[in-house]
Structure 1
Amino acid sequence: MVDTAPKPVVLLVEDDRQLAAMLAGLLTEEGYRVDVARDGQTGLHHGLSGRHDVLILDRGLPVMDGVDLLTKLRGRGVVAPALILTARGSLADRVEGLDAGAEDYLVKPFEIPELLARLRSLLRRHQDRADILQIGRLRLDRRTRTVVDDSGSGAEVELSERECALLSVLAASPGQVFTRTQLLKTVFDSADTSGTVDTYVHYLRRKLGRDIVRTVHGTGYRVGGR
C-alpha cells in the first residue's frame, strides 16, 4: 500500500552553508520536505507562508537574530513548533529562546539522532492541532482528507490528496493571497502549470461551494479575509 500522507515541511534557517546543506539532505532522506533560508529576513518571508510543520532556527543569523525572527513569526500568528539551534547554551540564552516562543532548544555541536528525535517529538505534540483547520463553518481534517460542515448538516466531503494539500496551504494562512507560482511550488509538481492550480481550485469550489476559495484578480487566491 502506497503511503499518501503528506510529508512534514521543515523551515531550516541556518547561515552556515555546509551545515545547512548537510541538514537539508539528511532531513530529505528522513522523509521531510525542506525549505532553507540563510538569513533572518529570508526566514521571515518563508515562515509567513504558513506552510511549515516545524521550524529549525539558528540563533546567530545575519540581518535578524533567530530569537527576533521567532518573535516576529509568533506575532504574525505562525504557530508551527520551533527548535532553536545555537552555540550559545547558557541558562539565560535558553530562557530567552523559550520565552520568545520556542518549544525546544539544542546546543551546538549536537548529535544527529538527538535532533531527529526532538523533531519527531515536536511533530507528535503538535500534530492534532496542525491536522485540523477551521474555514468558517467548514472543518478540514488533513489526516483523513475530509471536510465537515459544522453548521448543522454534518455533511462530510472527501478530498483528493492534491485538493487537500491546496486547501491546507490556503486555510493555514487565512486572508493571505497566494500567487499561482507560490501554490505551484508548494503543492504541485515541477511539471505542472498555473492552469493546474486553476483546475484544482475549480474542483474545490465544485465540492465545497464557490466561496470556499476566493479569486484575487491579477494576483492569485485566498481563503478567508475580506
Structure 2
Amino acid sequence: MRILIVEDDKPLLEGIAALLMEENYQVDFSLSGDEGYFMASHAIYDAIVLDIMLPEMNGVEIVKELRNNQVNTPVLFLTAKDSIDDRVKGLDAGANDYLIKPFAAPELLARLRVLLRQNEQQDKGFLSYGPIRLKEDGTEAFAGEQPLHLTVKEMQLLEYFLRNKEQILIRDQIFNRLWGFSSEAGVGVVDVYVHHLRKKLAKCQCDQYLKTIRGVGFMLKGDTENV
C-alpha cells in the first residue's frame, strides 16, 4: 500500500516515513501544502497523513479541494490543536480521522490500519474481484483455482486494479502509483504492463475483466464489453 505524508516538520516527517517503511508501506512525502495537494490530487494513494498547519495551502484547504474534486482517499489529520472546534472543523472538511501531536507510533499505525480497511475487500487475506484473487501480501495471485505467475510489477498493477475495481484509472494515475513521480520511464510503460497482465489473465480466460477505456486508461470490470 502507498501512503502520502504531508508535514512541514522535517524531523517528524522523516520519523513517520521511517516508521511506515518499516511496516512495508510505500511512502511519498512533501513538506509544503501546494506540493502535497498536487501529489494527493492524482488519487494514487491508499491513505494520506496530513498536517493541518502547513505553508501555502493548509490541511483543511487541501482536504476540501480533494473532496470537491471527488478524490476520496482516506485522510488522517495530524495537529497540535486539541480543541473540539478544531477537530470538528477538520472532520467537517472531509478528513476521516484526527490524531493530536505528540502521539505514540502504535496509535498512528492502528489508526492507519482502520482507514485502510475501509476500502478493502477482504476474503481470508485476499483481495478479490470475480474469479481474480490476490493475496494481500502480494505473494500469490489466482484466477479461479489457477495460479497467475506474475512479476512484482504485474502484482502491483493487479493490486491497484483490485483496490479500485469498477473505477477508471487513467494512465498517469497508474504510472505515478507504480513508477513514481520522479521515474525516468515514459507513461507508455503502463500499456506494456497492462498488455503483459492481460495475456496472463487470458491463459485463465479472465482477460475480459481488464477493460481498455479508449483514450483514457483502464478499468477492472465484470462485464464482457469494452467501453
**TM norm structure 2:** 0.70
**2:57 counterpart (48, 64, 71):** 64
Q: How many residues align?
A: 202
What is the CA RMSD across the aligned residues, in angstroms? 3.7
Quote how far apart the aligned CAs of 1:53 are.
1.4
Q: 1:139 to 1:104 in 2, by over 3 A?
A: farther
> One-letter code of the match for 1:105?
Y
Quote how far apart the aligned CAs of 1:170 are.
6.4
Q: Per-residue displacement from partner, 1:124-173 (whole Å, max 9, x unpaired)?
A: 343228x8798xxx89655574679xxxxxxx995735334225546846
Q: Per-residue displacement from partner, 1:30-88 (whole Å, max 9, x unpaired)?
A: 22111101112211221122221111100011111101111111222222221100011
Query: Given that residues 147 and 159 in structure 1 are in contact (C-alpha distance below 8 angstroms), is that contact kept between their aligned partners in structure 2?
Result: no
Aligned to 1:32: 25
Bigger CA drift: 79-88 or 167-176?
A: 167-176
Q: 1:215 to 1:205 in 2, by over 3 A?
A: farther
Quote how far apart the aligned CAs of 1:182 are.
3.2
Q: CA–CA distance in 2 between the matches of 1:126 and 1:142? A: 15
Tell me if 1:162 matches 2:156. no
Runs of 4+ more than 6 Å apart: 131-134, 190-195
Identity of aligned residues (%): 36
**2:13 counterpart (6, 20, 24):** 20
Q: Per-residue displacement from partner, 1:185-205 (whole Å, max 9, x unpaired)?
A: 24xxx8988786443222234
Q: CA–CA distance in 1 between the matches of 2:100 and 2:62? A: 18
Tell me if 1:84 matches 2:77. yes
> One-letter code of the match for 2:41?
L
Q: Helix, strand or coil for the counterpart of 2:98?
A: strand
Q: CA–CA distance in 1 between the matches of 2:121 and 2:60? A: 26
Q: CA–CA distance in 1 between the matches of 2:143 and 2:66? A: 28
Q: Which runs of 5+ in 2 are unaligned?
A: 220-226
> One-letter code of the match for 1:57?
L
Q: Helix, strand or coil for the counterpart of 2:24?
A: coil
Q: Helix, strand or coil for the counterpart of 1:127?
A: coil
Query: Given that residues 184 and 194 in structure 1 are in contact (C-alpha distance below 8 angstroms), is that contact kept between their aligned partners in structure 2?
Result: no
